[in-house]
Amino acid sequence: MPELGGNYTLDTILKEMTESGYSGTEIGNKFPKDSSSIKQVLTSFNLELASAWHSTYFLSKNLDPELERVHKKAALLAGAGAKIINIAECSGSVHGTINNPLSSKPVCNEEDWARLTDCLNKAGKVCNSYGLSIAYHHHMGTYIQNENEVYRLLSDTDPKLVNLCADTGHMYFAGIDPVRFFKNNMNRIKHIHFKDLRSNIFKNLNFKETSFLKAVLSGVFTVPGDGCIDFETISNVIIKAEYRGWIIVEAEQDPAIANPLEYAMQSKQYINKIWDN
């Protein structure tokens, strides 16, 4: 939702990231559109590019144009210094439509599964050719949302070509126990998103009526340490597994209500305490 925080300049956003103690970021909608400019602006704030979201439409569009879009995004990210691309299949997705409830999300049939996983493997080869790895982003309102869907995706794709962007907030939202999932699947997790949920808001959501965007606007998400997810145990699992990828802290809140700098600093201090123990 570009209107959320629309008044913030890119310089302010990056300045506050650095001030909060973070070392990298993903690409947002205010970033330049070419590799050299992205790298230049991040370097000026002593930040690195971790990754970026990329929507695919393998189940609704032709393969070749979709793979060409993957080529272009991979070239952009590699040129800006990233090693990860967060791909999500967005055909039929309802996560970006404010009036479509989560209960109306698309579901794969057997033909869809075969097509999607084959296309993702092909995309993985493209990304690998640029020195990038696919970390597939499971997401509310999309084909890959719940635990069975995440496991089916992992089992039917080549681990040399496709792995997972594990998002704690989307896991909890979808009924997946994040602690158990991390304990069982660190071998397939190549990128991590840390965000928390406010249980007092979450427990009152009606999936049959509530859209993902309305849930976000209601304040269901917050930064690590401000909600109900056990980040201490998850962090210990990550440390024990000797994970060497990025962990991205996400707030997904209205900045007019939740000051971004305050929450960024709060979450960084919280995670530092866990990591330093």
Residue 249 lies in a domain: yes
What pLDDT digit, counting tens, does each position of 119-133 carry? 999 999 999 999 999
**pLDDT band, very low/low/confident/very high, at 1 (cuts 50, 70, 90):** confident
Give Cα 246 to chain centroid, integer Å.
11
For the segment 251-261, the average pLDDT, to the nearest whole number, is 93
Reported as a single tens digit per residue, the pLDDT across 27-49 is: 989 999 999 999 999 999 999 99
The answer to whether the beta carbons of residues 207 and 103 sit under 8 Å apart is yes
pLDDT value of residue 5: 85
C-alpha distances in Å from residue 35, one per residue of 75, 113, 132, 166, 241? 8, 33, 14, 26, 32
The strand pairing partners of 247, in sequence order, are: 192
Residue 19 belongs to domain with CATH number: 3.20.20.150
What does the pLDDT look like over 135-168, one tens digit per residue?
Answer: 999 999 999 999 999 999 999 999 999 999 999 9
* Number of Cα atoms under 13 Å in the Cβ half of residue 55: 12
Domain presence at residue 5: no
Read off the pLDDT of each residue in 205-222 and give the average, rounded to a whole number.
Answer: 92
Rg of the Cα atoms in the chain: 18
Asked if residue 223 has pLDDT above 80, the reply is yes
Is this structure's pTM higher than 0.85?
A: yes
Nearest alpha carbon to residue 132 among 73, 84, 77: 84
Is the pLDDT at 207 greater than 90, yes or no?
no
Containing structural domain, residue 145: 10-276
Mean pLDDT of 58-87: 98
Half-sphere exposure of 257 (CA within 13 A, CB side): 12
The SS3 call for residue 274 is: helix
The answer to whether residue 114 is domain-embedded is yes
Q: Which two tokens stand for residue 164?
A: 């997972």
Specify the number of domains making up the chain.
1
Q: Looking at beta carbons, which pairs linking 109-118 to residues 24 or more positions away fall under 8 Å?
A: 112/59, 112/143, 113/152, 113/156, 115/58, 115/59, 116/58, 116/59, 116/89, 116/143, 116/153, 117/153, 117/156, 117/157, 117/162
* 1 in a structural domain: no
Look at residue 2 and tell me if it is in a domain.
no
